Amino acid sequence: MYKYGKGVPKDYAEAVKWFRKAAEQGDADAQGFLGVMCYIGDGVPEDKTEAVKWYRKAAEQGHARAQNALGVMYDYGKGVPENDVEAYVWLSISAAGENKEAKKSLVQAKARLTPVGLIAAQKRATKLFEQINATKAD
C-alpha cells in the first residue's frame, strides 16, 4: 500500500520496511518488489547487487517476473558480471512461465550464444526449471 499510496500516503521507505519483513520470511512477491526498489533506489539507496540478491530469491521460488529481471541483470551486467549463459537460463525459465517480456529478451540472448554455449545453457535451464518446479510442488 505504501509503495502506491493506496489508502495511506505514498512512502517508499515504509514500503521497503514491510517488503523486507515479508521478503525475509520467504514471500516471493515481496522479494521481487524489494528487488525492484533496490534496483531503482525507491526508499533505499540504489543497489544493483542487492536487487540481484532479492530477484534471485524470488526467481528460485518460481516468480516469473523476478526470473525475467534476473536474466536481464545478467544480460546487461547489472549487479552481476555480464553472462550470456546465465541470462539465457533465467530468461528461458521465465519465458516457460509465459512471461512475454522474457520471450522477447530470450531471442536476443540466444543470438549471442555459440552453439556449444546454447546447448550448455539449455541443459542448465532445464535442470534448474525442474528443480524450481519440484520445490514449488512441495
pLDDT tens-digit readout, 14-31 = 889 999 999 999 999 999
137 band by pLDDT with thresholds 50, 70 and 90: low
3-state DSSP assignment of residue 125: helix
pLDDT for the residue numbered 7 = 56
List the one residue out of 78, 106, 79 whose CA is nearest residue 91.
106
Q: Where are the domains of the chain?
A: 12-137
pLDDT for the residue numbered 2 = 42
Residue ranges with strand state E in 1-120 = none
Which of the following CATH numbers is that of domain 12-137: 3.30.530.20, 3.40.50.300, 1.25.40.10, 1.10.760.10?
1.25.40.10
pTM score > 0.85 for this model? Answer: yes
Which tens digits make up the pLDDT trace of 60-101? Answer: 999 999 999 999 999 999 999 999 999 999 999 999 988 899
Q: Under 8 Å CB-to-CB from 14, ≥6 apart: which residues?
A: 2, 8, 43
Cell 526467481: give the residue: 59
Write the burial class of residue 36 (CB in 10 Å: 0-12 exposed, 13-18 middle, 19+ buried).
Answer: middle
